Amino acid sequence: ALCDIGFVGLGVMGKSLALNLADNGYQVAAFDLDQDKVDAALAQDKLENNNVARVQGCESFQALLASVKAPRTLVLSVPAGAPVDSVCRALIEAGIEPDDTVVDTGNSLWTDTVRREKQYAGLFMFFSTAVSGGEAGARFGPSLMPSGDLRAWERIKPMWQAIAAKVDPDTGKPIERAEPGNPVKEGEPCAEYIGPNGAGHYVKMVHNGIEYADMQLICEAYHVMREGMAMSPQAIAAVFRQWNQGVLDSYLMEISAEVLEQMDEVTGQPLVDVILDRAGQKGTGMWTAMSGLELGSPVPTIAQSVFARSMSGLKSERVAASQLLAAPQVVPMSDAERSELIQQLHDALYCSKICAYAQGFQLMHTAAKANGWTLDFAAIAKIWRAGCIIRAVFLQSISDAYHRNEDLANLLVDEFFAGEIASNQTNWRAAIARATVMGIPCGGFSSALAYYDSYRLGTLPANLLQGQRDYFGAHTFERTDAPAGEKYHVQWGTSERRQLKM
Ligand code: 6PG
């Protein structure tokens, strides 16, 4: 019998998505340029399904096309960039038809998705579905961000909603993951149509930018406890486990505690103490920061998280500088001050996290306007409640905020979040002050606080800045008491320094 769906690329993500579809009763045809990957996927399928194969291996692009029901749905799980286009070309050569759909599930740059939809129009429908949740997510329930032609979405929707992570509508919490062969069917699926062409990849890019910030903020809290308070990784894990019971309840908090508890097999030391402090990155956080710069939508905490990774990369320079550059005097702390600082760090993490999400959502808001997309922010927050890396209880509150007001300019002005910051800001400021005095960098916390303080101020020092610009470059300025858009210039170089209306 012909299969329901075809896969190109059976790496970790492709194989896991394919098996997830098989668990949900779909017949899957699968191809990879590396035959070993096809064999491994088929073997795992049989192993997990009492020796009965549900995934059909294909030896070529032609064989793949011949194995899938028309109009075909073909899923690409290949590295972002050039491989996506080379697979598209191979599918065209193999005879793909105009009514077939190709679904790109990689972390593609959203502008490539926009370009591809146009480039392949008439040859096939190029659709995208950004996937979050890593291997376990793909296997048992990812968060899916589909975008593109609505006709393609109508076809794919039942499959995507079947395999996606599910949320308990009463609690807003993820429903526990299934075992192989026993998928979760109940609950709200974390797969909703995002918008046309690049919208889904854009939203996933911002998800990753927020992911970078979330991770960096947790690392800063760890850093203060580890270096500033000399706490053991196990003791910090215990604090994180406690934080994970409240407003900071999230997947990233949970896995951070697990990482801190892990002992190293080789040395018997806490593993975290032997992991080299040099962070990798594949570019999605940087793209988010760049988009913020391009659109003039401030995302300082996300950008700072990318820079923190870059700074970590300068390992040998940092080691050399550590011998040369002055550190502050150590100020001893009492037991009472230590427990106070732990609470302050909790509140700093919470407030900074609110700001990082506020930045990410505001960026999506700006991008939607610039690209003519209608994004449903309440729905986006909802599909991030389960399956994805930033899944957290907190996302329910974001969804609620956009339900109260779908045109909310910024999460900070939502009554709930404004109240949360109002009651936690003293500790947030105190944590940053303490860390600063101790010489522990906390660029995530402090960039978030600067974002908050700038956003809440009706007046910023950009008045002086405009004066500077007018002085050296005759760039003109507007006056507070004149209509917007009316330009003035002072003849700075003359002794009269007359002001002219331009
Ligand atoms: C997810 C993740 C995933 C991503 C890396 C990005 O949502 O499942 O965002 O898509 O590949 O985690 O990470 P780095 O840039 O840190 O490698």
- CA distances 389 to 209, 250, 349, 441, Å, are 11, 9, 17, 25
**Residue 386 near ligand 1, beta carbon < 6 Å:** no
pLDDT at position 182: 73
β-pairing, 166-167 with 143-147? Answer: unpaired
The single residue of 204, 220, 353, 420 carrying the catalytic annotation is 204
pLDDT of residue 173: 86
pTM of the model: 0.95
Q: Which of 164, 197, 230 is the last residue of a domain?
A: 197
Helix axes 199-223, 251-261, angle to 10 degrees: 40
Residues 6+ apart with CB under 8 A from 111: 198
- Indicate whether 350 and 298 sit together in one domain: yes
Contact 58, 34 (CB under 8 A): no
269 and 176 in a common domain:
no
Average pLDDT over residues 442-465: 98
Q: Which of the listed residues 197, 229, 259 is the one where a domain comes to its end?
A: 197
Is there an atom of ligand 1 within 6 Å of 133 CB?
Answer: yes
Q: Which residues pair with 145 in a beta bridge?
A: 130
Q: Stretch 357-368: mean pLDDT, rounded?
A: 98
What's the 387 CA to ligand 1 centre distance in angstroms? Answer: 13
CA of 86 relative to ligand 1 center, distance in Å:
23
Q: For residue range 69-90, list pLDDT tens digits in order.
A: 999 999 999 999 999 999 999 9
Same domain, 480 and 447: no
Same domain, 157 and 209: no
Average pLDDT value for residue range 440-448: 98
State whether the beta carbon of 284 lies less than 6 angstroms from ligand 1.
yes
Dist. CA 136 → ligand 1 center (Å): 13
Mind listing the pLDDT tens digit for each residue in 249-307? 999 999 999 999 999 999 999 999 999 999 999 999 999 999 999 999 999 999 999 99
Q: Looking at 231-283, list the stretches that DSSP marks H as alpha helix, in order from N- to C-terminal side.
A: 233-243, 251-261, 271-274
List beta partners, residue 31. Answer: 8
Residue 331 and residue 187 in one domain? no
Same domain, residue pair 343 and 391: yes
Is residue 180 pLDDT above 80, yes or no? no
Q: Residue 487 belongs to what domain range?
A: 462-501
Nearest-CA residue for atom 10 of ligand 1: 132
pLDDT of 178 strictly over 80: no
How many domains is the chain built from?
3
The model's pLDDT over 386-430, given as tens digits with 9 standing for 90+, comes to 999 999 989 999 999 999 999 999 999 999 999 999 999 999 999
* pLDDT at 198 > cutoff 90: yes
Answer yes or no: 211 catalytic.
Answer: yes
Does the annotation count 204 as an active-site position?
yes
Can you give the CATH number for the domain in which 481 is found? 1.20.5.320
Residues 169 and 252 in one domain: no
Instruction: State whether 356 and 314 are in the same domain.
Output: yes
Which residue of 110, 135, 211, 214 sits with most ligand 1 atoms within 8 Å of its CB, as the best mutation to test the pocket?
A: 211
For residue 113, what pLDDT band results from cuts at 50, 70 and 90? very high
Task: Please report the pLDDT score of residue 186 as a whole number.
Answer: 83
**Is the pLDDT assigned to residue 105 strictly greater than 90?**
yes
Residue of 104, 305, 389 to test ligand 1 pocket, by largest number of atoms within 8 Å of CB: 389
Answer yes or no: is pLDDT of 177 > 80.
Answer: no
Which ligand 1 atom sits nearest the alpha carbon of residue 281?
15
Q: Are residues 209 and 160 in the same domain?
A: no
Co-location of 297 and 338 in the same domain: yes
Which helix (H) or strand (E) is 190 found in, with range? Answer: none
Q: Which of 117, 188, 192, 211 is catalytic?
A: 211
ipTM exceeds 0.90: yes
* 184 and 254 inside one domain: no
